[in-house]
């Protein structure tokens, strides 16, 4: 397969420009990135254990408990996505290799990606996005329809790409990578391209999908 920097075709601004300055062909840098991501996942798991211990000792409020369990599924989903993306740096398990196996990495990544994209429609997430636009002085009563439409448009474009990925072939893996890549760009824009306001997990997903798309996607796919 001819390798070409597919993402040269992506216009990048703000946060993306900062991240795109990194050398994605530097194997040592990629190894360091993988180590940092695994450390991030371990830290998340340790924080979960700490909370559950504190809850058992009645050291947290009921509101904190509700918030924890509401967010736990979302955070765990992010960790699963990161784990798969790191694993795919070494090898993409293709259709003929995983047929008949109990665990299908492609289908699992698709499920996790679908869940993450669907969060855009979650009432609390939608409210948070709109409040962000309002804090930036962009949203008011007269133009709220525009920003709701912007959220809906981004959701439809990204989920369509997820749903178009049908089977464990390189092209369809890349559709999932691109969906995650576009989702990160959406969150960067929501945060007004302020890298200090962006979740660390979105930074990691952006970096990984950029590497994977560059490695596996051809210009005409």
Packing angle, helices 105-118 and 144-164, rounded to 10: 170
Give one DSSP letter per residue of 68-117, joined into a string.
Answer: HHHHHHHHHHHHHHHHHHHHHTT----HHHHTT-S--HHHHHHHHHHHHH
pLDDT > 70: percent of the chain: 83
Does 96 have pLDDT greater than 80? yes
Check residue 51 and give its pLDDT: 61
The pLDDT tens digits for 28-85 are: 999 999 999 999 998 887 777 666 666 666 766 677 666 766 778 889 999 999 999 9
Q: Is residue 26 part of a domain?
A: yes
Q: What is the mean pLDDT of residues 91-95?
A: 92
Check residue 135 and give its pLDDT: 85
Check residue 175 and give its pLDDT: 96
Number of H helices, E strands in the chain: 9, 0
Q: Is residue 208 part of a domain?
A: yes
Identify the residue with better confidence: 153 or 218.
153
Rg (CA), the chain: 19
Which residue, among 167, 199, 204, 162, has the nearest Cα to 179 in the 3D structure? Answer: 162
Check residue 206 and give its pLDDT: 96
Q: Is residue 221 part of a domain?
A: no
Q: Which range of residues forms the domain containing residue 150?
A: 6-216
Q: What is the mean pLDDT of the chain?
A: 86
Does 5 have pLDDT greater than 60? no
pLDDT confidence band for 141 (50 / 70 / 90): confident
Q: Is residue 139 part of a domain?
A: yes
Instruction: Please enumerate in sequence order all residues whose Cβ is within 8 A of that of 114, keeping only pairs 6 or more positions apart, or say none.
Output: 159, 162, 163
Check residue 217 and give its pLDDT: 78
The pLDDT tens digits for 170-204 are: 999 999 999 999 999 999 998 888 898 899 999 99
Tokens, residue 209: 């999908």
Tokens, residue 71: 């967010």
Check residue 8 and give its pLDDT: 47
Check residue 100 and give its pLDDT: 75
Q: Is residue 1 part of a domain?
A: no
Q: Is residue 196 part of a domain?
A: yes
Which pTM value belongs to this model? Answer: 0.85
Does 6 have pLDDT greater than 50? no
Number of domains in the chain: 1
Q: Is residue 199 part of a domain?
A: yes
Q: Is residue 156 part of a domain?
A: yes
Tokens, residue 211: 């590497």
């Amino acid at each position: 397969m001819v390798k070409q920097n597919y993402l040269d075709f992506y216009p990048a601004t703000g946060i993306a420009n900062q991240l795109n300055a990194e050398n994605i062909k530097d194997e040592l840098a990629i190894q360091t990135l993988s180590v940092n991501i695994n450390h991030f996942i371990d830290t998340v798991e340790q924080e979960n254990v700490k909370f559950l211990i504190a809850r058992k000792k009645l050291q947290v409020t009921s509101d904190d408990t509700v918030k924890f369990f509401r967010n736990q599924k979302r955070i765990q989903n992010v960790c699963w996505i990161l784990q798969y993306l790191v694993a795919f740096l070494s090898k993409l398990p293709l259709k003929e290799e995983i047929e008949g196996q109990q665990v299908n990495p492609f289908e699992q990544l698709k499920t996790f990606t679908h869940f993450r994209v669907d969060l855009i429609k979650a009432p609390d997430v939608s409210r948070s996005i709109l409040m962000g636009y309002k804090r930036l002085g962009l949203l008011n009563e007269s133009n709220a329809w525009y920003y709701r439409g912007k959220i809906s448009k981004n959701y439809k474009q990204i989920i369509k790409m997820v749903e178009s990925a049908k089977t464990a072939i390189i092209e369809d893996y890349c559709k999932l990578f691109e969906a995650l890549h576009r989702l990160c760009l959406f969150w960067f824009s929501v945060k007004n391209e302020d890298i200090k306001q962006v979740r660390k997990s979105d930074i990691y997903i952006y970096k990984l999908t950029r590497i994977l798309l560059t490695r596996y996607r051809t210009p005409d796919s």
